[in-house]
Amino acid sequence: MNIIIVGCGKVGRKLAQQLISEHEHNITVVDIKRDVLNDTVDKLDIIGFTGSGTSIKTLKEAGVENTDILIAVTGSDEINLLSCFIAKKISNCKTIARVREPDYKTAINLIKEDLGLAMTINPEKMAADQIARIMRFPSAIQIDTFAKGRVEIFKMHVPENSVLDNLKISDIDSKLNTNILVCGVERGDQAFIPDGSFVIQKDDYISIVASIEERNNFFKKTGIKTNPIKNTMIVGGGTTAYYLAERLIQSGVNVKIVEKNSKWCEELCVLLPKAVIINADGTNVNLLLEEGIENIDSFVSLTNIDEENVVLSLYAKTKTNGKIITKINRIEYDNVLENLDIGTTVYPKEITAETIVKFVRAACNTIGSEVETMHMILDGKAEALEFRIAKDSKIINIPLYKLNLKQNVLVACINRNGNIIIPKGSDSIFAGDTVIIVTKHEGFKDINDILA
Regarding whether 107 and 20 lie in a shared domain, the answer is yes
Domain check: are 334 and 362 in the same one? no
Q: Same structural domain for residues 240 and 308? A: yes
What's residue 27's pLDDT? 94
Question: Residue 180 — pLDDT band, cuts 50, 70, 90?
Answer: very high
In-domain check, residue 95: yes
User: Are residues 294 and 375 located together in one domain of the fold?
Assistant: no
Question: Residue 43 domain-assigned?
Answer: yes
pTM for the model? 0.83
114 inside domain: yes
Confidence of residue 22 (pLDDT cuts 50, 70, 90): confident
- Domain count for the chain: 3
Lowest mean pLDDT among 34-38, 121-125, 235-239, 336-340: 336-340
312 and 366 in one domain? no
Lowest mean pLDDT among 77-91, 101-115, 126-140, 167-181: 101-115
Model confidence at 20, in pLDDT bands (50, 70, 90)? confident
- Would residue 420 count as lying in a domain? yes
Asked if residue 134 belongs to a domain, the reply is no
Judged against a pLDDT cut of 60, whether residue 35 lies above it is answered with yes
Report the DSSP pairing between strands 94-98 and 69-72. Answer: parallel
CB 423 within 8 A of CB 402: no
Residues 315 and 367 grouped into a single domain: no
Task: State residue 262's pLDDT score.
Answer: 94
Residue 71, pLDDT above cutoff 80: yes
- Tell me which residue of 378, 442, 443, 449 sits closest to 411, measured CA to CA: 449
Q: Does pLDDT of 358 surpass 90? A: no
Residue 206 is assigned to a structural domain of this protein: no
Which one of 66, 86, 121 terminates a domain? 121
Look up the CATH number of the domain holding residue 55.
Answer: 3.40.50.720
pLDDT tier for residue 116 given thresholds of 50, 70 and 90: confident
Question: For 266, left (φ over 0), alpha (ψ -120 to 50), or beta?
Answer: alpha
Residues 365 and 313 grouped into a single domain: no
Instruction: Spell out the residues 6+ positions from residue 412 whose beta carbon is closer than 8 angstroms to its own.
Output: 153, 181, 183, 209, 384, 422, 423, 436, 437, 438
pLDDT in tens, 206-238: 999 999 889 888 988 888 777 779 999 999 999
Do 337 and 422 belong to one domain?
Answer: no
Domain boundary among 121, 151, 176: 121
Domain end residue (candidates: 301, 330, 346)? 346
For position 12, what pLDDT does the model report? 92
Strand partners, 432: none
**Are 391 and 339 in a shared domain?**
no
- Comparing 76-85, 275-284, 357-366, 424-433, which segment has the lowest mean pLDDT? 357-366
Q: Give residue 390's pLDDT.
A: 87
339, 395: one domain: no
Assign 402 a pLDDT band (cuts: 50, 70, 90).
Answer: very high
**Average pLDDT for the chain:** 90
Could you tell me if residue 46 is inside a domain? yes
**Residue 312 shares a structural domain with residue 296:** yes
- State the CB neighbour count (10 A cutoff) for residue 119: 17
Residue 387 phi/psi, 5-degree rounding, is -110, 140
Residue 22 structural domain: 2-121
Say yes or no: 340 and 286 in one domain.
Answer: yes
The answer on pLDDT for 46 being more than 80 is yes
* pLDDT (average), residues 306-320: 93
Q: Is residue 313 part of a domain?
A: yes
Cα separation values, 13 from 9, 41, 119, 452, Å: 6, 9, 19, 32
What is the CATH classification number for the domain harbouring 439? 3.30.70.1450
